[in-house]
Chain A
Amino acid sequence: MSPRKLLYPLLALAVQATLAGSASAQVKAGDTFPSLSGAGLAGAIPETAGKVVLVDFWASWCAPCRASFPAYARIQGEFAPRGLVIVAVSVDEVQADYEAFLRKFAPPFAVVRDQDQRLAAAVGIPGMPTSFLLDRSGKVRWIHEGFHSGDTEPALRRELELLLTEK
């Protein structure tokens, strides 16, 4: 076989192998969110069965995350009686930073730590912070990356109003 004849099959093989290796898992709207209890998170995970759940990935070094906590505290106070559960998942590598942040903000919602970043990797979060709003059956209905005080909170409230009226 001449080198020219050999070239194309081998190149095709190389391209195929490259493409196969580049596929990445990312949770999308409509997907079932991975189980929080099976993710090896440190901290108490609240009961989420039959509830609308907001899973928020954050870190103490992330400035928009700081802005998001007071907003989530307001939302928790308003929507928790109607069936919302907020679970804030920290991806902090340094435990002392994580603890200092919690002392400062004292969030009224559940906070857990994904110390090995296993859940963050499994979900494939695109940036910090990223929040996933899950319906009562555990399906992802809304994904939001970043936090902009003027835009994110009203958008989240709209989504919550829709989801909480669903049975």
Chain B
Amino acid sequence: MKTGALLFAIAALGLTGCASLQPVRVQPWQRAALADPIMNPGRDPLGKQMAEHISFSREAASGGGGVGGSGCGCN
């Protein structure tokens, strides 16, 4: 029992180490790469439409991407 309590205490103390772990937040001044046009998946309307068509045909599902259809994957 004493060993169990000791292990528990060590594990619980280890939790305090998590205090230094903060949620990662990209700072506003670090968002240059995120603001790059290449990060926009909809920058090419034709390419986006084709990708959506392939996606909903292959996944046999529609909706969510703004594409209509029956979901049978036949078109």
A9 to B16: give the CA distance in the assembly, Å. 12
Q: Are B5 and A62 in contact (CB under 8 A)?
A: no
Contact of B19 among A6, A21, A130 (CB under 8 A): A21
Within 8 A of B (CB), among A107-164: 114, 117, 120-121, 125-128, 130
A126 to B28: give the CA distance in the assembly, Å. 7
- Knowing A20-B19, A121-B27, the reply to whether A6 touches B32 (Cβ < 8 A) is no
Q: Which of B6-14, B46-54, B55-63, B64-72 contacts A (4 or more CB under 8 A)?
A: B6-14
* Total contacts A-B at CB 8 Å: 66
Nearest CB on A from B19, distance (A):
4
Nearest CB on A from B16, distance (A):
5
Q: Are A21 and B12 in contact (CB under 8 A)?
A: no
- Knowing A6-B5, A18-B18, the reply to whether A11 touches B28 (Cβ < 8 A) is no
Q: Are B19 and A14 in contact (CB under 8 A)?
A: yes
Q: Are A14 and B18 in contact (CB under 8 A)?
A: yes
Q: Are A3 and B19 in contact (CB under 8 A)?
A: no
Q: Are B8 and A6 in contact (CB under 8 A)?
A: yes
Within 8 A of B (CB), among A62-103: 62-63, 91-94
A49 within 8 Å of B by Cβ?
Answer: no
A56 to B32: give the CA distance in the assembly, Å. 17
Closest to B36 in A: A61
Nearest CB on B from A69, distance (A):
16
Binary interface profile of A, 5-25, with partner B (CB < 8 Å = 1, else 0)?
A: 011001101100110111000
A7 to B5: give the CA distance in the assembly, Å. 10
B residues near A (Cβ < 8 Å) are 4-5, 8-9, 12-13, 15-16, 18-20, 22, 27-32, 35-36
User: What are 18 inter-chain pairs, A to B, with CB distance below 8 A?
Assistant: A3-B4, A6-B5, A7-B12, A10-B9, A10-B12, A11-B15, A14-B12, A14-B16, A17-B16, A59-B32, A61-B31, A61-B36, A91-B28, A93-B32, A114-B29, A117-B27, A125-B28, A130-B28
18 extra A-B contacts, CB within 8 A, seeds A21-B19, A117-B30:
A2-B5, A7-B8, A10-B13, A11-B12, A14-B15, A17-B16, A17-B19, A18-B18, A20-B19, A21-B22, A63-B35, A117-B27, A121-B27, A125-B28, A125-B29, A126-B28, A128-B29, A130-B28
